[in-house]
Amino acid sequence: MKQPEIDLTDLSRLRTGQAAHITGIHAPDDIRQRLQAMGLRTGREAQVIRCTRLGPMQIRVGSVDLIMRRRDAARVSIVAKK
């Protein structure tokens, strides 16, 4: 069987080095506003630079590096590149 080309999931499920396109943010208005203002916007590419089991993840969006908790990364839905 052939693997599907794309995979719909959320940002917290990516592993170190993987990149994906952001498709939306699922959070109350105020939190979404904040995440968007920091560069997490639909259509942009996000790459996981660093993640550990317990601590926050390091995400690169364009020229900005962000650190965010897995819990918050789970609010960002993505289309992962295979």
Partner 1 sequence: MPNTGKSTFFNRLTGSSSRVGNWPGVTVELLSARTILGNDAVEVVDLPGIYDLHGFSDDEQVVRSFLENNVVDQVVMILNASQLEHQLPLALQIYKLGMKPVLLVNMIDEADQLGIRIDAQALSKSLDCPVLPVSARNGTGLKEVRETLIEKLKSSQVLRPSELKAYLHADDELVAQAELLISRHVSSPSHLVRVMTERIDRVLLHPLFGLPLFFLAMFLVFQAVYTLGAPLQDAVAYLLELFRSWALEPLASVLPATLYGFLVDGLYDGIGTVASFVPVIILFFFLMAIIEDSGYLARAAYLTDALMARLGLDGRGFVMLLMGFGCNVPALMGTRVMRSRSLRLLSMLVIPFSLCSARLQVFIFITTALFTPKQAPVILFFMYMASFAAAFLTALLFGRRLKSDEPFVLELPPYRSPVLFQVLMRGWHEISHFLRRASTFIITGVVLVWWLTHYPEGATPGGEGTYASMLGAWLRPVLEPIGISAVMSVVLLFGFVAKEIVIGAIVAMTGLQGAALNSYLATQMDAVQAISFMLFILLYTPCLSTLATQLNESRSWQFATVSLAWSLGLAWIVSFGFYQGARLLGY
Residues that bind partner 1 (CB under 8 A): 27, 30-31, 33-41, 50, 52, 54-56, 58, 61-69, 71-72, 75
Measured from the CB of residue 58, what is the shortest distance to partner 1 in angstroms? 6
As measured in angstroms, the least distance from the Cβ of 31 to partner 1 is 5
Closer residue to partner 1 in complex, CB, 1/37: 37
Minimum distance of partner 1 from residue 74's CB (angstroms) = 11
* Alpha helices, DSSP H, located in the chain: 29-37, 70-73
Q: How far apart are CA 3 and CA 42, in angstroms?
A: 25
Identify which of residues 14 and 40 has a Cβ nearer to partner 1 in the complex.
Answer: 40
Q: Which residues pair with 51 in a beta bridge?
A: 57
The answer to whether residues 76 and 34 touch, using CB atoms and an 8 Å cutoff, is no
Take residue 4 and report the two structure tokens written for it: 């599907």
